Each structure stands twice: as C-alpha cells, then as structure tokens.
Amino acid sequence: MQGQYIKFGKNLVTTEEFLAEGHTFCTGCGEALALRLACKALGRNVIIANATGCTEVCTSPLPVTSWRVPWIHTLFENTAATISGIEAGLKILMKKGTIPERDIKCVAVAGDGGTSDIGIQALSGALERNHDFLYLCFDNEAYMNTGIQRSSATPYGASTTTAPAGKLSIGQTTWKKNLPEIAVAHNIPYVATACPSYPFDLMNKVKKGGDIKGPAYVHIFSPCPTGWRHDTDLAIEIGRLAVETGIFPLYEVENGRYKLNVDRPKLKPVEEYLKTQGRFRHLLDEEIERIQEHVNEEYAKLKAKVAHSTT
Amino acid sequence: MSKRIGLEASHAAAEAARMADVDVIAAYPITPQTHIPERLAEMVANGELNAAYIPVESEHSAMSTCVGAAAVGARTFTATAGPGLEYMHNVLYVASAMRLPVIMTVANRALSAPLSIWGDHSDAMSVRDTGWIQVFCQNSQEAFDMTLWAFRVGEDAGVLLPVMVHFDGFHLTHVTEPVILPEQEEVDKFLPKFHYPFALDPDKPMTLGAYAPPDIYSEAKIAQEVALRKSKDVVIKGFEEFKNIFGRCYHAVEPYGMQEAKTLLLTMGSFSETAKVVIDERTNRGESIGLINLRLWRPFPFKELRQAVKGAETLIVFDRCISFGGPGGPVHSEIKSALYNMPRRPKVVSFVGGLGGRDVSMKDFEHVIDRGREIAENGSKGLYETVGIRGKVTDIRG
Ligand SMILES: Cc1ncc(C[n+]2csc(CCOP(=O)(O)OP(=O)(O)O)c2C)c(N)n1
Ligand code: SF4
Ligand SMILES: [Mg+2]
C-alpha cells in the first residue's frame, strides 16, 4: 500500500484528503463528513460527476475548488446520465487504445432531491443499462441547497419550507420514498445504506460499491443541522439514533441478498430520535405513535428479506 | 475512389458519423430522426463501427451522456428532432459553455401542440441562443458532408464548440438520393483524431463545471460569446478544406441565380431546392431575381449576408417558424436587424409557411415572389404574410 495511513483499531484510513479543506459546508454538516469519508474510501483513481446541491455548491465556487480528484458538474437532474457518458467514453477509448487501459472508478454524487425526484429517470436508466459506476446519494431529506424545501425523501411529519407544519398541517404528510429499494428493483449487483456515524461501515461500502463491476448504489444518511434544526455537534449522535431506532437501518443487498449490518436486539423508540430535531418539534403523541408503527412495520419487512436471504 | 450510391439523408448522416469513427453515440428515438440512430446501432451491432452505442432513456440523458463522454475526450454524436431537442434544451447550454464539441444532427420537426411529427424550423429557432454552431442542409449529400464537416470544425482546438447539423424532417430525412461517399483515407486526411485538452483524468485532476459567482459569470459568458463568433474563421476554413479534399464547395451564405439581382428570396434547408427551380425559370425569362440559401445560422454570417444583398432592392425571407407575438419570422427579423445599419439596404419582406410538414410548392414560391415585390412597393397592413394557410388570415399586426 502506498501513502500514509492512520490506524483506527483494525482499520487503516489514508491521511490523504481528496476533498480539500476550505469548503463552505455549514458547521457540523453530516453530508460534508460523509462525502469526505467516501472520497477517502475511493482514492485518487476516480472521476466524480456531481449533481447540483450542497455537495456541489459548497465545493466549487469559481475560481477555487475543493476537489483534488477529477470532478464535473453539469446540471441538477442528469448526473446519472453524465456518469454514463463518462463510463462509456472511458471504456471505448481504452478499447480502441486511445487511452491506456486502467481502473478508473466512475462515481456519481447527488442529494436526495437530485436522486429521488428530478434525477430518478436518469438514475433508473443508468442502472438499467448496466454501466459500471457507483452512485452515491447523500440523503439529508430535503432540498437543502435551495432552502429546506421538501423532497420525496423527506420523512413523514417533518416541517420544511414547502410543506411547513401549521395549524392545518403536520408538515410532510407522505412516507419517505424508499430509494434503496428502487435501486434493488433494478437487479443491480450492489445496494447499500450507510451513515457517517458508522465511518468504517460507510467507507467499506463505498469501496465495495466502487470495486464491484456494474452499477452500485449507496444511500447515505446525512444529518443536516441547518435543515433539521439540530445542534451543530449532534450530527453523529443523530445518525446513530436513526440507525438504533430503525428509522434508517444499515444494510447491504449484494446480488439480491439482504444483510443487516447493525442489528440491535431491541430498537430504541423513535421519539428519542425525533426529539433531537426542530423539524419534528410540533409532532403530537399520536403522530409519533404512527411513525413508530410505520418504522416497526418497515423494519419487520426488512428483517424478513434478510431472513429470506439467509435461507 | 469515392462511390456514388443511393442513400437516405438519415443514412448519409449515419455514414458520416461512421467514417468519422465516433466513439460514443447516445440517442433516443423520435420521428423523423429514428433512421439515424437505428442505422448507427446496426453498424455497431455488425462491427462496422467500433463505438459505444448507448440507448438512453430520454433526450435529456442523450445530451447529458454525450457531455460526459466528450468530457473524457470521446468523439461524440447524437441525433434528435423537435420535442427531443426541446427536452434537452437545458443541457445544450451546458455543452457549449463547457466547450464540449458534441456533434448532433437535428431532423427538424414541428413542436407540439398539436402534436406533429412533420417538419418545420421551430425547433432550430428555439435553440438559436444556446451557443451551438448551427448549419442547414438542402439534400442528402449535404447531410453527409455537413455532418463530417461538423466534427472537423467543432473539435478544432481553436473552436471546441458543439455543432448542430439541421436537415428537414421527412422532406429530407426520408428521401433517398444519390450520395457520393468518399474513401476513408480522404476522410482521415480531412478529419484529424480528436484531442480534447481538458479531458477528465485522475493523473491531472481538473474541476469542470464549477459554479460562478456574479464577479465571474459575466466574463465566462462573454468569453463563450467571443469563442463562438471567432469560430466563423474555422467554419470558413473548414468549407475550404472540404472543397480541397472532396471537391464540393460550401459557403455560409450561398447566392443562386442572377448576380446583383433586384429581387432576392432567402430560404433555409431543403426548400431552397424547390425555390431554385422557380428562380431558374424566372431568370431564364430574364427576370432580375436570385436566391440566397442561408447555410450557416450560428454564428450568424453578418458580413457575407450584407455582401450578398447589397445590390438588391427587395429581400423576401421565407420562414418555417412563427415567432409568436414577435416581429415576423425569426430568420426575417434577424436579417432585418443585420441590415438595419447599412446605408443602402433592400426592403425586407417576411413570409411564414411550411409549418408542421405543409408542403411549399413552386406555385407557393411564385406567389411569395410576386406578392413580396408588391409589399416592398406598396407596403402591407401586416407584419408578415402567411403562405398556403386555408381561410382568411386576418392581418398579423404589430
Ligand atoms: C432543473 C433545476 N431545477 C431546480 C434547481 C434548483 N435546485 C438546485 S439544488 C436543489 C436542491 C438540491 O437538493 P438535494 O438534491 O436534496 O441536495 P442537497 O442540497 O439537499 O444536498 C434545487 C431544487 C436546479 N438547479 N435545476
Ligand atoms: S444545508 Fe445542511 S447539508 Fe447543506 S451544507 Fe448546510 S448542513 Fe450541510
Ligand atoms: Mg437534500
């Protein structure tokens, strides 16, 4: 192995930073941390295509850049298509001998809005066409870059600027769209969920997703102090609570087989998670109860898939 | 030895892309463009062309995929028509601003609603400000020639801009005509290998498509504008090189008929050939009349146009597009503004017709010429007049 590494228990992590200091993410941003870890896992032989959103705007204001790896941004809605062209272009140029044969990981980076709403068509197309790429969705559960508007990944009951809680509304009235399951439905070799509160798990999954031939999708839960209205020192704790309550389970689906990466004997009550954030502050007990029931149900479904995969 | 064979314009364009040895094709089917991607897919499937054919799920993704492929240095081609061109509109600006020389043929098609699969120039006009080089073709030979030429010009190190090659849906895309196909060596002589100087490469990390705060955006856009205007030199040089190697001679503005004619008709695309028959008959009768086939639409050939019309008294512009609520046909209004500051300029008269596949016959052009002269002399109540529309069109007033 080349380069310098730091040891964390049995894990080695490179000291190299591919996402440079001096970016403009908010203090305590979970997305920034997740992106930095993902870049460490990928190393320098990558090309990144980034959708519009916090990950793009906070890293690339001309004339400076935070990117130490080749990086391209084109639009908000088309990142999966842009990376399709990059991947196909590299492949044919290598095949024709125009550029030397080598392993370059093609990685798409987008937010939950760029993935689950405006970019879902391009994503579905790219997954279905079997391009050899890794798609990283940084899910902060709303359009944060434009000012905390709801997306289809915003959770039930959260207050956002376009689905605000008010006298007649609890805020978001729909259940969060299950993007990892949509990716799984494309029968791709690798789908995983991750969270920067579990940094080694995240890095392992990103690395695996990058190494696997064919499309891989990693959905990364990214606490956002600004949009979720939580203290700036809480992103790690909130990420952990999301996993421990079953709100955001950590799992992998490799060639259709499900595996839970963190499985606690007993889930914590969702209330412990909800009460950490201003976006849920207005919720009454009965709504919290509904959310609890929904989480129980979804978690049970997931466990059934895991059980089915091991038989 | 070049060979002369019967080819549909669509297949001629596909043949040009094949001889250009494109690396990546990403396209989405839409009538009347379908024969182009179908033919290319077939070539790839048969091993006649060593390229990646990516059957994307939309035109938006077609252009985005081309942008990604061009950004790693691949020679990139796509084709679309009407609604497909509109659907990729957002990405067109990205391709040109990021200086990615994607080559695209556009089988010109009307825009919905009502849905029409047939041809007019509404699609081409709606993208005139996207920063692409745009040329129009009159026949199948030109579909081949201009497509090949587009690679030469767009990929030139001093240009690096995307190029749209327009040919009329059905009136051209589905017409089989004799086409002279060159030898591969001739093509290779004309078209060097593509070398993109800013290709994404882990050994030379670069940030492409960063966002621009207000203190940078204006400079970036003006630089792009200057680049497009400057590309005209290479556009012209490309025509000259093309002539030297293949013998066929093209110009940004192509006068036809009597020199220094008093009346000039101006058309674009395949209808120019119909108009030429009318011009021939009239010049044979000794009439002082000529035609201007406007080949280059962007960058607009101001100098060449002014030169071509300087002796004329009347310039009749035939548009295949409505500029709703605007000053008349879009080509006409650009031409008017191009000529406005000339000390002596012809009267410019605007006609609109040939919409959504409506034929424009020789008889229609006869009417356009006669009525155009009348309007030039006596004026008209309307901003423009229509051609071949049933019923009475109330004057279209300003
Ligand atoms: C076509 C288009 N529509 C809308 C926008 C405005 N826009 C830019 S970023 C963004 C939200 C991004 O949200 P998400 O993808 O969740 O990323 P985040 O900023 O939350 O990380 C929106 C709506 C745009 N740039 N382009
Ligand atoms: S708005 Fe949220 S996701 Fe965006 S930079 Fe700030 S904390 Fe991070
Ligand atoms: Mg978001």
H or E stretch at B124: helix B122-126
Which of A24, A31, A52, A162 to probe ligand 1 with, by most ligand atoms within 8 A of CB?
Answer: A52
How many structural domains does chain B have?
2
Residue B271 and residue B327 in one domain: yes
A155 contacts A141 by C-beta, under 8 angstroms: yes
Give the separation between CA B358 and CA B213, rounded to whole angstroms. 47
Rounded to two decimals, what is the model's pTM? 0.98
Domain A2-310 fold? Rossmann fold (3.40.50)
> What is the token pair recorded at A259?
């595996």
B11 contacts B32 by C-beta, under 8 angstroms: no
Domain limits, chain A: 2-310
Which of A54, A56, A145 to probe ligand 1 with, by most ligand atoms within 8 A of CB?
Answer: A145
A81 to B68: CB separation less than 8 angstroms, yes or no: yes
Amino acid code (one letter) for A174: T
B74 contacts A92 by C-beta, under 8 angstroms: yes
**Can you tell me the ipTM of this complex?**
0.97
For residue B54, the cross-strand partners are B26
Residues 6+ apart with CB under 8 A from A295: A245, A246, A247, A267, A270
Give the separation between CA A144 and CA A151, rounded to whole angstroms. 10
Residue B261 and residue B302 in one domain: yes
Give the separation between CA A159 and CA A153, rounded to whole angstroms. 13
Q: Which of B40, B54, B96, B99 to mutate to test the interface with A (most CBs of A within 10 A)?
A: B54
Helix H, strand E, coil C: the string for A60-90 is CECCCCCECCCEEECCCCCHHHHHHHHHHHH
A74 to B67: CB separation less than 8 angstroms, yes or no: yes
Residue B276 and residue B213 in one domain: no
Among the partner-chain residues B23, B60, B208, the one whose CB lies closest to the CB of A96 is B23
pLDDT < 70 regions, chain B: none
Indicate whether A311 pLDDT > 80.
Answer: no
Set of chain A residues whose Cβ sits within 8 Å of the Cβ of B65: 81-82, 84-85, 88
Give the separation between CA B160 and CA B151, rounded to whole angstroms. 10
φ/ψ of B211, rounded to 5, equals -90, 155
CATH of the domain at B26: 3.40.50.970
B195, B211, B246 - which closes a domain: B246
Give the separation between CA B120 and CA A19, rounded to whole angstroms. 49
Percent of chain A at pLDDT exceeding 90 = 95
Q: Look at residues A262, A211, A214, A213 and name the one whose alpha carbon lies nearest to residue A241.
A: A262
Predicted confidence at residue B197, as pLDDT, reads 96
> What is the token pair recorded at A198?
């579990």
Residue whose CA lies nearest to ligand 2 atom number 2 = A224
**Residue A95: other Cβ atoms inside 10 A:** 14
Q: How many CA atoms lie within 13 A of B160 on its CB side?
A: 21
Residues 6+ apart with CB under 8 A from B68: A49, A72, A74, A81, A82, A83, A84, A85, A86, A87, A88, A89
φ/ψ of A11, rounded to 5, equals -95, 140
Residue B167 and residue B266 in one domain: no
φ/ψ of B254, rounded to 5, equals -120, 100
The distance of A129 to chain B (nearest Cα, Å) reads 8
Distance of CA B257 to the CA centre of its chain: 22
pLDDT, tens digit, for every residue of B213-269? 999 999 999 999 999 999 999 999 999 999 999 999 999 999 999 889 999 999 999
Helices (H) then strands (E): counts for chain B: 13, 16
Pocket (CB within 6 angstroms of ligand 2): A 25-26, 29, 31-32, 54, 58, 140, 144, 224-227
Residue B122 and residue B63 in one domain: yes
Query: How many Cβ pairs within 8 Å bridge chains A and B?
Result: 169
pLDDT, tens digit, for every residue of A136-194? 999 999 999 999 999 999 999 999 999 999 999 999 999 999 999 999 999 999 999 99
Residue whose CA lies nearest to ligand 1 atom number 26 = A76
Helix H, strand E, coil C: the string for A36-48 is HHHHHHHCCCEEE
Predicted confidence at residue A109, as pLDDT, reads 98
Ligand at minimal distance from the CA of A115 is 1
A24 contacts A46 by C-beta, under 8 angstroms: no
B190, B223, B246 - which closes a domain: B246
Residue B103 and residue B242 in one domain: yes
Q: Look at residues A53, A299, A260 and name the one whose alpha carbon lies nearest to residue A178.
A: A299
Give the separation between CA B334 and CA B89, rounded to whole angstroms. 21
Residue B285 and residue B335 in one domain: yes
The parent domain of residue B54 ranges over 3-246
Q: How confident is the model at residue A63 (pLDDT cuts 50, 70, 90)?
A: very high
CATH of the domain at B366: 3.40.50.920
Predicted confidence at residue A208, as pLDDT, reads 97
The distance of A94 to chain B (nearest Cα, Å) reads 10
Residue B192 and residue B264 in one domain: no
> What is the token pair recorded at B64?
């985005």
Residue B281 and residue B358 in one domain: yes
pLDDT, tens digit, for every residue of B133-169? 999 999 999 999 999 999 999 999 999 999 999 999 9
Q: How confident is the model at residue A2 (pLDDT cuts 50, 70, 90)?
A: low
A196 contacts A220 by C-beta, under 8 angstroms: yes
Give the separation between CA B152 and CA B157, rounded to whole angstroms. 10
Q: Look at residues B383, B385, B381 and name the one whose alpha carbon lies nearest to residue B398.
A: B383
Residue B224 and residue B280 in one domain: no
Give the separation between CA B34 and CA B169, rounded to whole angstroms. 10
B57 to A128: CB separation less than 8 angstroms, yes or no: yes
How much of chain A is helix, strand and coil, in % rounded to 5? 35, 20, 45
Residue B25 and residue B136 in one domain: yes
Q: How confident is the model at residue A310 (pLDDT cuts 50, 70, 90)?
A: confident
Residues 6+ apart with CB under 8 A from A223: A30, A140, A230, A234, A235, A236, A238, A239, A242
Which residues crowd ion ligand 3, with CB under 5 Å? A 111-112, 140, 144
Residue B136 and residue B271 in one domain: no
Pocket (CB within 6 angstroms of ligand 1): A 31, 52-55, 76-77, 110-114, 138, 140, 143-146, 151
H or E stretch at B8: strand B3-8
A152 contacts A116 by C-beta, under 8 angstroms: yes
The distance of A139 to chain B (nearest Cα, Å) reads 22
φ/ψ of B216, rounded to 5, equals -125, -35
Predicted confidence at residue B269, as pLDDT, reads 98
> What is the token pair recorded at B302?
């101001």
Q: Is A56 helix (H, G, I), strand (E, B) or coil?
A: helix
A77 contacts A167 by C-beta, under 8 angstroms: no
A120 CA → ligand 1 middle, Å: 13
Give the separation between CA B119 and CA A249, rounded to whole angstroms. 54
